[in-house]
């Protein structure tokens, strides 16, 4: 399936912001066997005085932009053509939850996809007792890791309600879980906290979700903006598997990955430092349309 994706983000600054520096993680990577990027373009207006592109530690395409003069407004737009390949049928070759520590101990690797990065609390996903208790109640030691991922994602989807007004980008998983409400970022953070508490390495994926569903299927939550879901390491045979707790399903043909990391902060689409006294407003919109062939 080939998608055309268009993203636009607009910022307006109440006070002119002096010497802004921004990091963007908006360009999807090629993922062998999962997705191929056919075309990608990142346009920044006004054009920055400095721009650099590199791959960060986790392999995400990162762009830094610097303006030497003050900004009133900023528009970032991305146009993409991405082919998403059908995932192989799910075969559960993952170890039992109780056997995962031994599997992890055998991994002598600190590369971008090493599960070791994703085991501990991270900047935006603290250890949360309530989530740990919830997760433990669901998981049996002889359940496979894949079963565990699926049952936790399913349970969270049932437990929590999608509510765009309940949280902000700063909300942590403890609060989102306490109020049982939030958006895709909150669902993902809560699930990551739960998986890590069970000893399952878990990370955060940002990306796009098909805007209009295939005929006869319901529209998915989170398709109007950039989406987020969870990636879990399920053992040496099956590796990383992606689950979307907001929509209670494995992230398959409808999903395009942009960036992966330990939590939101590692993949934040736009991270800025603006020396500005005033507030800022932003809008953002996404369209992801299957290409007619």
Give the nearest distance from C-beta 93 to other proteins in angstroms. 23
Contacts for 249 with CB less than 8 Å, ≥ 6 apart = 243
Q: Which of 1, 12, 16, 18 binds other proteins (CB under 8 A)?
A: 18
Nearest alpha-carbon partner for 10 in 289, 280, 207, 288 = 280
280 binds other proteins (CB under 8 A): no
What distances in angstroms separate CA 76 from CA 7, 189, 287, one per listed residue? 8, 26, 14
Counting every residue, how long is the chain? 293
Q: Which is nearer to other proteins, 23 or 130 (CB)?
A: 23
Q: What's the rounded Cα separation, in Å, for the pair 103 and 111?
A: 17
Reading the block at residue 8, the tokens are: 């636009």
Which residues from 23-82 bind other proteins, rule CB under 8 A? 23, 50, 52, 54, 56-58, 64, 66, 68
Give the nearest distance from C-beta 95 to other proteins in angstroms. 16
Which residues from 142-201 bind other proteins, rule CB under 8 A? 199
204 neighbors 267 (Cβ within 8 angstroms)? yes
Nearest alpha-carbon partner for 148 in 86, 196, 205, 220 = 196
Any idea what the Cα angle at residue 186 is, between residues 35 and 218, rounded to 5°? 60
Segment contacting other proteins by CB under 8 A, of 73-81, 116-124, 221-229, 282-290: 116-124
108 binds other proteins (CB under 8 A): yes
Give the nearest distance from C-beta 212 to other proteins in angstroms. 35
Segment contacting other proteins by CB under 8 A, of 84-92, 112-120, 141-149, 218-226: 112-120
What distances in angstroms separate CA 127 from CA 51, 81, 91, 193, one per listed residue? 37, 38, 31, 6
Q: Which of 30, 109, 159, 212 binds other proteins (CB under 8 A)?
A: 109
98 binds other proteins (CB under 8 A): no
Q: x/- string (CB under 8 A) for other proteins, residues 240-279? A: -------------------------x-----x-x------
Nearest alpha-carbon partner for 65 in 80, 52, 77, 81 = 52
Q: What's the rounded Cα separation, in Å, for the pair 140 and 168?
A: 33
DSSP 8-state code for residue 172: -
Q: Which is nearer to other proteins, 120 or 219 (CB)?
A: 120
Rg (CA), the chain: 19
131 neighbors 190 (Cβ within 8 angstroms)? yes
Q: Which is nearer to other proteins, 67 or 177 (CB)?
A: 67
Q: Which of 36, 114, 151, 280 binds other proteins (CB under 8 A)?
A: 114
Q: Which is nearer to other proteins, 153 or 201 (CB)?
A: 201
Count of residues that bind other proteins according to CB under 8 A:
31
Q: Which is nearer to other proteins, 19 or 284 (CB)?
A: 19
Give the nearest distance from C-beta 290 to other proteins in angstroms. 36
Q: Which residue has the tokens 């953070």?
A: 189
State the residues that interact with other proteins by CB under 8 A.
18-19, 21, 23, 50, 52, 54, 56-58, 64, 66, 68, 101, 104-105, 107-111, 114, 116-117, 119-120, 123, 199, 265, 271, 273
């Amino acid at each position: 399936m080939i998608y055309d994706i268009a993203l636009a983000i607009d910022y307006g600054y109440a006070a002119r912001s002096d010497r802004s520096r921004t990091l963007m993680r908006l360009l999807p990577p090629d993922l062998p066997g999962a997705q191929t990027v056919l075309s990608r373009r990142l346009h920044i207006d006004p054009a920055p005085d400095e721009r650099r592109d590199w791959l960060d530690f986790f392999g995400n395409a990162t762009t830094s932009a610097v303006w030497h003069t003050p900004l009133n407004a900023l528009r970032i737009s991305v146009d993409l053509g991405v082919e998403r390949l059908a995932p192989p049928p799910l075969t559960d070759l993952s170890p039992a939850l109780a056997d995962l520590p031994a599997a992890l101990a055998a991994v002598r690797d600190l590369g971008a996809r090493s599960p070791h990065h994703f085991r501990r609390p991270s900047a935006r996903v603290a250890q949360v007792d309530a989530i740990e208790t919830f997760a433990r109640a669901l998981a049996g030691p002889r359940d496979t890791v894949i079963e565990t991922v699926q049952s936790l994602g399913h349970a969270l989807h049932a437990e929590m309600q999608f509510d765009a007004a309940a949280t902000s980008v700063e909300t942590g998983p403890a609060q989102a879980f306490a109020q049982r409400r939030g958006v895709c970022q909150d669902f993902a953070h809560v699930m990551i906290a739960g998986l890590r508490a069970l000893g399952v390495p878990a990370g955060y994926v940002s990306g796009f979700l098909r805007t209009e569903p295939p005929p006869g299927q319901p529209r998915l939550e989170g398709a109007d903006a950039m989406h987020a879901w969870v990636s879990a390491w399920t053992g040496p045979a099956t590796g990383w598997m992606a689950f979307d707790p907001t929509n209670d399903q494995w992230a398959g043909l409808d999903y395009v990955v942009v960036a992966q990391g330990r939590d939101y902060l590692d993949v934040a689409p736009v991270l800025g430092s603006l020396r500005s006294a005033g507030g800022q407003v932003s809008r953002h919109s996404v369209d992801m349309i299957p290409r007619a062939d």
